[in-house]
Each structure stands twice: as C-alpha cells, then as structure tokens.
Structure 1
Amino acid sequence: MELEMRRMQVFFPASLEIQEELLKAGFKVPYDKESGRKTPIPVVVSSREGRRIRRSRLLKAKDFESDGKFAVVPDERALLELEPTDNGFLILRPKPVEYHLEEMGFVSVPPRVWGTWASFSIPFSAYDELVDFLGDFGNDNRNGFYTASRGSGGRIEVYAYKGRSRKDLGIPVFGYSLGLHGLTLADEYLREKAKENEVPEERLRYLKLGLKKRKETKAGLKVGIVWENGKPVEITLKLSTTEPRVKIQGLYGELAGKSRGELTRTDGWYIVVHASDFIAALETVGRAFGGNSY
C-alpha cells in the first residue's frame, strides 16, 4: 500500500552523531566564529501545500521563487509505503520524491534534546483505507493503549501510546534507517560545503550520514490525528528517541543530547513496528473524540 504524504520533515540537526561525523571530516558545524564558515545540517522537508520560509533558511531546492527576503517553494511530493510482513511487523517506507533542504530556525530548546526528530503526515481521508488494509492485524483488545493531546487555537493533536511508561514515545519501534545518502540535493549541498570548508571532496564518499536503531536505543512512533476547527484533517506519525544520551566535542565545547542511533550509510528509509500496535494506536486515536462519526 502506498499513500501520498501531506508533509514530511526529518530533523537531521537533532543528531549529535551526524554532527560529530561532519566535524571529524573538517566541516564547521554549525558555525565557526573566526572564519564565518558554517555548515548547518539540513532538515529534509517535503510539503504538498508548498512552503514559504526566509530565504536565508533555504539551503537547497530544485525550484523556488524569492523576493530576496523570503523564498516560496512550490508543491512537493513524498510517498509512504506500508508493507506488512508474514511475522506481524509493519515496515513504513517514507520516500521523498520532491523535497528541499532547510536550515533549522532559531528555537529556544536545542533539537538534540528533543524527543521527536522525524515527522510524517498523510491526509485523514486515508483513515478508512488504512484500517481496512491492516484489518487482519486488529482486534478489540486495546488494553494498555492511552491517548495524550496538545493544542493551540483551533488545532488539536491527539496521539496514542502503549503503556504508561511510553508517553513520550508512542508505540515501540523495532528498527529504523533514515539518512542523507541518496538525496541528490544533499549530495550537491555537501559538495558545495566541502569546497567552502576546504575539505577534500573524496572524503564525502566515506562519510556515514545515516542513522539506524541500536539495540539500546529507546525508540517509538507516535501515531496521531490532527484536528482543526473540530474536524480531523491529517494522520501524523512521529519518530522519537529518548535514550541513551550521548556526548560529543563540538567546536566550542562538549555537547550532550539524546542519541538518534548508530551511524550508517543508508540505501532507503524505513521504520519497523508491530502491525497490531499500529492499527490499535490508529483506532484508539480515531475513537478519542467520540467515535468515527466524521
């Protein structure tokens, strides 16, 4: 089953592992005060509604318009493939078809201490199709599943988590792989930055700029529904990691944060969960506001 995503954001700046890999190769991450050189780790973004951001934050895009201060990136496409396995797992494969690279804007909390670092959303119109597709893995026993919500204005997000200790994580994740390898814009960006930072371009072929789950990584997927003005509009999936903590030597001292996994070279992106957990979480949030009478 393959669905078109509404939005996709993977915050690779949240990874101290990738930052350390680039620093060791000679890149100034994120910014060198003396030379003024900087190599912000890109956020990979795809939005079906297009995107308007400050021009200074747009690192690389295939197509955009700009008035000098702001950049307007046109509609983009990203797909999400769902593949159930014979042993009860569900493999989610995000596929960025059209995307751009952004620099992280100013935030009061550094991304390295966030829980969530990858976010995917699909239109709520796919809800019934998803439930039908995974119907063989569902059952009426959703004991141990709870919901949490947050909102502002007319927007409310409600997500499910399994077990009271997993409120910050959602449902268990058994494997994942996400990285910058194979993304044409990321390759172009790093070649440009290698020249700017006087890093030999041949070093790029040896870099590991992907992340996969380690055995000790505490990881989860938040499965939720976003409501706007009383109506469900999208299904949201958020990959989170909370442990273990890692430390690296940055340009200006030691940095500590949450591990995002083991460095690797990635061929494709995937997230692995139990299919029964996924459908139970989806149905739990679907019933959070009084059933499926939308």
Structure 2
Amino acid sequence: MELEPLRMQVFFPASLEIQEELLKAGFRVPYDKESGRKTPIPVVVSSREERRIRRSRLLKARDFESDGKFAMLSGEKTSIEFELTERGFLVLRPKPIEYHLEEMGFVSVPPRVWGTWASFSLPFSAYNELVDFLAEVRKDNGNGFYTASRGSGGRIEVYAYKGRKGKDLGIPVFGYSLGLHGLTLAEEYFLEKAKENEVPEERLRYIKLGLRKRKETKAGLKVGLVWENGRPVEITLKLSTTEPRVKIQGLYGEIVGKSRGELARTEGWYIVVHAGDFITALETVGRAFGGNPY
C-alpha cells in the first residue's frame, strides 16, 4: 500500500556521525569562523502545501520564487510505501520524489540532543486505509500501550508508546535506513561545497552520508494523531533514537549527542516495526478521546 504524506522532514544535522564524516573529509562543518564559510548539513523537507521560508535558509530546490528575503516553494510530492512481511513486520519505505534542502533554523536545543530526528505526516483520511490494511495482524487489545500528548490551544498531538519505559521512543524499531545518497539535490549541494572547502571531488565517492540502526541503538517510532479543535486531522510518524551517546571532535572542541546509528552508503529509505505494534498504537491514539476517531 502506498500513501502520499502531507509533510516529511529528516533532520540530518542531528547526526554527529555525519558531521564527523564530513569533517574528516575536509569540510568545515557547520561553520568556519576564520573564513566565514558555512557548510550546514541539510534537512530534507517535502511539503504538499506551499512553503515560505527565509531565502538564506534554502540550500537547494528545483522550483521556487524569491523576493530576495523569502523563498516561496511550490507543493511537493512524496510517498510512503507500507509493506507487510511474512514474519509480521511492517516496512515503511519513504520515497522523497520532490523535496528541497534547508538549513536548520535557530533552535534553543541543538538537534544532536533531540530524540526525534525524522518526521512524516499523513492526512487523517489515511486512518481507515491503514486500519483495514493491517486488520489481519491485530493481536493486541491495547494492554501495555500508553498515550502522551503535547501541544496547547486548539492543536494537540497524541502519540502512543509501548511499555512504561517507552515514552521517549514510541513502539520499537528493528531497523532503519535514511541517508543523503541518491538525492540529486544533495549530490549537487555537496559538489558545490567541495569546491568551496577545497575538497577533492573524487572524495565524495567514498564518504558515507547515510545512517542505519546499530544493534545497540535504542530506536522507536512515535505513532500519533494531531487533533485540531476537537477533530483529528493528521497521522504523525516520528523516528526517535535516544542511546547510546556519541562524542566527536568538532571544529572548535568536543561535541556530545545522541547516536543516530552507523554510517552507511544507503540506497533507499526504510523503517521496520512490528505490524501488530503499529496498528495497536494507531488504534490506541484513535481512542484517546473516547470512541472511534472517524
């Protein structure tokens, strides 16, 4: 089954592993104080709706208009394929068909210490499709699943987690692969930055800008619903990693953060969870305000 998300954001600046790989290759990441040269690690973003951001934050895009201060990006298309395996796993395969690259804006908490670093939002109209698609693997009545919420005013996000210690993760993730390889805009961006940083172009063939789950990586997927003014409007899927800690030598000192996995030259994106966990989490948040959400 394939669905078209409303939004997709993968925060590769949250990975100290990728930062270290670029530093070792000779890139002055993210900012060289002496030359004033910036080499930010890009955030991969796709939005079905038009998006307006500061022009200075837009690193690469195929189609946009700008007044010099702001950039207007047209709606972009991406998809997520949901695949059930014979062993009861659910494989989510995000496909960034149309997207752009952004620089991280200012945040009070640096992304290297975030839990969540990849987010996908589906329209709530996909809820019934997902429930029907996964009906045959429904085995749990919701025992052992809990909910947490965030937000205020008319917009609240409720997500489910498995086990009392799973609040920071959601449901267990058994594998994932996300990377900047195979993305034409990312390849063009790093070619330009290689010239700016005086890095030999052929070195780009060997650096690893993708991430896969290590055996010791604590990873989870937060399956949630966003409610606006009492009505569900979005399904949210957020990949989080919390352990182990990782330490690298940055341009200006030691940097510590959360590991995002092992470096790899990734070919495609995927996230693997138990199908039974996914549908139980989805139906748990669906019942969060009593009854069915549809």
Normalising by structure 2, what TM-score? 0.99
**What residue in structure 2 maps to residue 60 of structure 1?**
60
For residues 257 and 274 of structure 2, the distance between their equivalents in structure 1, rounded to whole angstroms, comes to 28
Q: For the structure 1 residues 118 and 293, does the alpha-carbon distance in structure 2 shift closer, same or farther, using more than 3 Å as the test?
A: closer
Distance, in Å, in 2 between the alignment partners of 1:77 and 1:114 is 27
Aligned to 1:38: 38
Q: Secondary structure at the match of 1:164?
A: coil
Q: Secondary structure at the match of 2:117?
A: strand
CA contact (8 A) 2:232 2:293 kept: no
CA distance in 2, matches of 1:188, 1:88: 39
Structure 1 ranges of 4+ moved more than 4 A = none
Q: How does 1:127-206 map to 2 (within 5 A)?
A: 127-206=127-206
Mark the CA change 1:132 to 1:111 in structure 2 (over 3 Å): closer, same or farther. same
Cα displacement (A) at 1:293: 4.9
Which residue of structure 2 lines up, in the alignment, with residue 285 of structure 1? 285
Alignment deviations for residues 114-151 of structure 1 (CA, whole Å, 9 cap, x no partner): 00000001100010010000000113521100000011
1:85 corresponding residue in structure 2: 85
Per-residue CA deviation, residues 207-251 of structure 1 (Å, 9 max, x unaligned), is 100000000000000000001111111100000000000000000
Q: Please give the alpha-carbon distance, in whole angstroms, between the structure 2 residues aligned to 1:65 and 1:293.
A: 39
Which whole-Å CA distance do the structure 2 matches of 1:155 and 1:40 have between them? Answer: 32
Q: 1:50, CA displacement in angstroms? A: 1.9
Q: Distance in 2 between matches of 1:144 and 1:99?
A: 38
CA–CA distance in 2 between the matches of 1:251 and 1:293? Answer: 50
Cα deviation code 1:30-56 (max 9, x no counterpart): 000001111100000000012110000
Equivalent pair of 2:287/2:293 in contact (CA under 8 Å): no
Partners of 1:27 and 1:214 lie apart in 2 by 25
> Could you list the per-position Cα deviations for residues 257-294 of structure 1 after superposition, in whole angstroms to 9, with x for gaps in the alignment?
00000000000000000000000000000000112153
Separation in 1 of the partners of 2:284 and 2:2? 22
Query: What CA deviation, in whole Å up to 9, does each residue of 1:100-127 have, x standing for no partner?
Result: 0000000000000000000001100010
For 2:41, what is the secondary structure of its paired residue? coil
Aligned to 2:224: 224
Please tell me the residue identity of whatever aligns with 2:290: G
For 1:67 and 1:204, locate their aligned partners in 2 and report how far apart those are by CA, in whole Å: 33
Distance 1:293 1:85, change over 3 A: closer
Cα distance change, pair 257–101 in 1 and its aligned pair in 2 (3 A): same
SS in 1 for 2:165: helix
The letter of the residue matching 2:24 is: K
Question: CA separation in 2, counterparts of 1:6 and 1:270?
Answer: 18
Deviations 1:158-203 (A, max 9, x none): 0000001010000000000000000000000000000011100000
Distance (Å, rounded) in 2 between the aligned partners of 1:11 and 1:154: 27
Between Structure 1 and Structure 2, how many residues are aligned? 294
Q: Which amino acid in 1 is paired with 2:51? A: R
Q: Which residue identity lines up with residue 28 of structure 1 in the other structure?
A: R
Relative distance call for 1:86 and 1:22 in structure 2 (3 A) is same
Percent identical across equivalent pairs?
85
Q: 1:138 to 1:206 in 2, by over 3 A?
A: same
| Residues 140/202 of structure 1: CA separation in 2 closer, same or farther (3 Å cut) | closer
Q: Match of 1:100?
A: 100
CA distance in 2, matches of 1:283, 1:145: 10
Partner of 1:259: 259
